[in-house]
Structure 1
């Protein structure tokens, strides 16, 4: 009888111990170390809980990134403004952290809890390879110390986004395992473009369109020029009038041409039609406004036919 009483007691004790151990990882998750980062998440499904666990890891990396940016600024003298800092941290939310595994999970009523383990070494290796590939591509672009033509300028301009991604990835790697970032190619390309801007002349007869084009110059990295220019953007415009259902119709056609020195490198045209109940003059104003709006919506390069 005594043994029969003890066995149920031991089984009950074992059951209680098991329950405590099962919840222990959630109440006190493993501490991060040099090999792994851990994240906890909770959601309506396992997939949702796992995603929240990865967001937990992203939050830890985000905190480390802030400190890493300060370190990089001290070492290189390159200051990163608040906009860049927010961008690098926010990108963690948009990337899928690879090299992780679901360690434990459990479901209580309608909620699922997940513990995710991220392998620092494997993720660092993946990011390092991506940075190395970017370094090889970007370093070849920066072998030149000057910009001689539009094609070279455009190639550098297009590479800014790629260089920015590489820079941000280097900062994330630094936050992950302390690997010192290499050269900031994004900063180097920006400085080269500032030192050797694309100087562009504008020729056209519509004041409102000219003002809009000059504004686009500034946004695109062009500098307005009157002599010894790299490019010349010119346009010819023609307007025809008609009546349509008792309203005044203005049809405006513009032909853009882009010259590099004396060579035509791009051309395009745009036509707009606007009606007015008052006069052809009013319709003309509306057609010019429509042309400017099209420029603002599509951007300089697409409107004039330049590739970028």
Structure 2
């Protein structure tokens, strides 16, 4: 009897030991085939798969998946264009294209599949190549018409006004180039090379015009230091500028204002106020701007004034010289 009890006790302890040592097996999530092995794109559709903790996150991830595919093709095409033209025009335009930029163009998509796995939602989207090409072509035509209309109007104006118009067109041209790239990546190649060649030519002519416009800068005696500093900033951008109130020029930059100095506790302080008026060769006022800056020095008032001038120059440099002068609607 004692032997039977011992055997039973041994079996019970063995079973308990096994139960304590073992861990419950967690059931592994099963992913559908369209998640683990997404379908290849076809001649008619482009697919994208994404996941997120909400429908919005999952959809954005899927759109970025599609965008990434298009950008890969855009990058390959751009290398060919850069090699062909051997300049920075194509390179600078392509650098502005990213997944977020492309995703904004992907509006006509369809939800093909969706599933919830744990706390994540998986979504598969598709876009029709033909619909995408049709929509993008329509947007490109609208931008192209705007570009051509603006340039036609500017051709009848002064050189300075042509410069302003062409510089302000740059964001529109960059957007049009992006659409052309997307059309090529999606398979729509009709006239795309002509569009790119046309936009490249506009950008080159705009750069040439920027260097061809001559600026004349004048100021009262107290602001001569800032006027000289502004001329230097323009020269650093390869823009033709010179000091003087008279002489041939396409644009006149007239600087007025004052620079006030004070001393407190051995600290020299300077307050600079400038009014900048720009007119073309026909004395038509193009822009009027006012700026203020301050500077200080423990040495003397001249050093404090120099500090204020450098501070204002830094503002112009950071915001873009032409934009600071009121010659651009957009600053890069």
**What is the TM-score when the length of structure 2 is the normalising length?**
0.72
What do residues 187-227 of structure 1 show as CA deviations (whole Å, max 9, x unaligned)?
222222234332112234634652344324554x7322575
Partner of residue 314 from structure 2, selected from 286, 293, 307: 293
Using the TM superposition, give the Cα deviation of residue 291 of structure 1 relative to its aligned residue in structure 2, in angstroms. Answer: 2.8
Report what 2:195 is aligned to: 183
Structure 1 residue 263: deviation in Å?
1.2
* Residues 129-184 of structure 1 deviation map (CA, whole Å, 9 limit, x = unaligned): 00111122222344477873322221111011101110111111111023231323
1:199 corresponds to which of 199, 206, 214: 214
Counterparts of 2:322 and 2:49, CA distance in 1: 47
- Aligned with 1:222 (options 225, 239, 244): 239
CA distance in 2, matches of 1:57, 1:289: 48
What is the DSSP-based 3-state SS (H/G/I as helix, E as strand, rest coil) of the residue aligned with 1:291? helix
Listed one character per residue, the Cα deviations across residues 21-56 of structure 1 (whole Å, up to 9, x for unaligned) are x82333443331122111122333333222222222
Q: Where does residue 42 of structure 2 map in the other structure?
A: 33
**CA shift in 2, pair 1:57/1:270, >3 Å:** closer
Alpha-carbon separation, structure 2, partners of 1:132 and 1:78? 27
Matched-pair contact (CA < 8 Å) for 1:124–1:173:
yes
Of the candidates 109, 114, 120, which is equivalent to residue 100 of structure 1? 109
Deviates more, 1:154-163 or 1:294-303: 294-303
Relative distance call for 1:251 and 1:44 in structure 2 (3 A) is closer
Deviating more after overlay: 142-151 vs 120-129:
142-151
Do structure 1's residue 168 and structure 2's residue 189 form an aligned pair? no
Structure 1: 5+ residue stretches without partners? 1-19
- Which is greater in Rg? 2
Does 1:281 find its partner at 2:294? no
Match of 1:15 in 2: none
Cα gap change, 1:172 to 1:90, in 2 (>3 Å): same
Residue of 155, 158, 166 corresponding to 1:148: 158
Task: Number of aligned residue pairs: give it.
Answer: 287
Alpha-carbon contact 1:209-1:288 (below 8 Å) kept: no
Question: Post-superposition shift, 1:98?
Answer: 1.2
**TM-score normalised by structure 1 residue count:** 0.76
Give the aligned partner of residue 48 of structure 1: 57
